[in-house]
Amino acid sequence: MAPTSTIVDTQKRVAAHLVGREREIELTLAAVAANRDILLEGPPGTSKTTILKAITEEWGIPLLFVEGNADLTPAKLVGHHNPARVLREDYSSDNFVAGPLIEAMQRGGFLYIEEFNRAPEDTLNTLLTAMADRAIAVPRVGTIVATPTFRVVASMNPYDNVGTTRLSTSVHDRLNRLTIGYQDEPAERGIVTLRTQADGDLANHLVIDAVSVTRATRRHPDVRQGSSVRGAIDCVLVALQLALLRHLTSPLDDAYRELVYDAMTVTLSGRIHLDEAAESSPERVLREIWEDHFILEPAIAEPG
């Protein structure tokens, strides 16, 4: 096992890449440092990729992305023989084109399977075998043994129920799991400030308002899944460009609120998913949120 100072140093350096998330970094790092694979379960935009990027960067190893969907067959994950070369040369390990699983095993990287629960069952089984054995037998190539830093990290959205495989108890029993939720309001303001490089009175007001209305999309009764912090980031960036187009320079300008609403419709309407039973539209929901924010509770719009 690595000396404790090493993992503590890594934790500190990883934390420097992110706003908050100390607990998630600590638990994820503990799992992967223990040579274990892990499933990160949380809605979109909750730092899953950011944490894994930071850890793999610190470890100096590759992070290979795979999207779990019905097309992700075991052959896509493992790899295939180049058909033209097979015709000329017959099968050999030379003309084998490694898929992401083999590449991650050979290079000692993290194989990151997003939307894990959308992958077909035979693909999950291939993966579970590779995870258990840390080796895989590839026909006509031989047995590939994983480099020690190889890990499988899976992610899934707990609200996702379209085209998903219900993970069996035997799959769950082979995985460690960490649930990740949305961050609190100050942390989301910090993220949006960092990602938009917001600076100045107008931008600072936009960060506060964009984060507040984005968070409100997650609480609205007609909404099944609201927007992640990505919506707030885009809202600020789009609003800043709108402000240039409309020659608006101050949050005290009479046209400021309408500008925020316009930026909200562009950046948030596609990111909120209404309940099937709701007789509303994303635009109507956003108008309600906007009215609550600016008209019913204007105090919360004031910067602290």
Work out whether 48 is an interface residue with ligand ATP (CB under 6 A).
Answer: yes
Which of 224, 200, 218 is closest to 303 using CA atoms? 200
User: Which residues, numbered 128-157, are part of the site for ligand ATP (CB under 6 A)?
Assistant: 155
Among 66, 119, 229, 239, binds ligand ATP (CB under 6 A): 229
User: CB-based burial of residue 44 (10 Å sphere; 0-12 exposed, 13-18 middle, 19+ buried)?
Assistant: middle
* Contact of 220 with 264, CB cutoff 8 Å: no
Question: Where does this chain touch ligand ATP (CB under 6 A) — which range of 47-55, 101-109, 133-141, 284-292?
Answer: 47-55
Closest contact distance (angstroms) between CB of 219 and ligand ATP is 19
* Contact of 99 with 141, CB cutoff 8 Å: no
Q: Give the DSSP H or E segment for 137.
A: strand 135-138
| Nearer residue to ligand ATP within complex by CB, 78 or 119 | 119
Determine the 3-state secondary structure of 43 from DSSP. coil
Among 18, 105, 111, 223, binds ligand ATP (CB under 6 A): 18
- 10 Å Cβ neighbour count for 3? 8
For residue 21, which amino acid is it?
Answer: R
Closest contact distance (angstroms) between CB of 250 and Mg ion is 36
State the Rg of the chain over Cα.
Answer: 23
List the structure tokens of 82: 């180049």
Q: Are strands 223-225 and 273-274 parallel, antiparallel or unpaired?
A: antiparallel
Work out whether 164 is an interface residue with Mg ion (CB under 5 A).
Answer: no
Count of positions on this chain that bind Mg ion (CB under 5 A) = 1
Among 10, 11, 47, 267, binds ligand ATP (CB under 6 A): 47
| Nearer residue to ligand ATP within complex by CB, 27 or 255 | 27
Among 10, 11, 28, 46, binds ligand ATP (CB under 6 A): 46
Contact flags string 236-275 toward ligand ATP, x per CB under 6 A: ----------------------------------------
DSSP type of residue 198? -
Out of ligand ATP, Mg ion, none, what residue 21 binds, judged by CB under 5 to 8 A for its kind, is ligand ATP
User: Which residues, numbered 71-110, are part of the site for ligand ATP (CB under 6 A)?
Assistant: none
Among 15, 33, 49, 165, binds Mg ion (CB under 5 A): 49
Among 191, 198, 207, 260, binds ligand ATP (CB under 6 A): 191
| Nearer residue to Mg ion within complex by CB, 67 or 283 | 67
Whole-angstrom CA distances from 148 to 79, 99, 108, 197 are: 21, 18, 6, 39
Question: Looking up tokens 């003309």, which residue turns up?
Answer: 95
Out of ligand ATP, Mg ion, none, what residue 217 binds, judged by CB under 5 to 8 A for its kind, is none
| Nearer residue to ligand ATP within complex by CB, 18 or 72 | 18
**What angle, 0 to 180 degrees and rounded to 10, lies between the N-to-C axes of helices 121-133 and 100-107?**
10
The Cα–Cα gap between 264 and 242 comes to: 12
Binding site for ligand ATP (CB under 6 A): 18-21, 44-50, 114, 155, 191, 194-195, 229-230
Binding site for Mg ion (CB under 5 A): 49
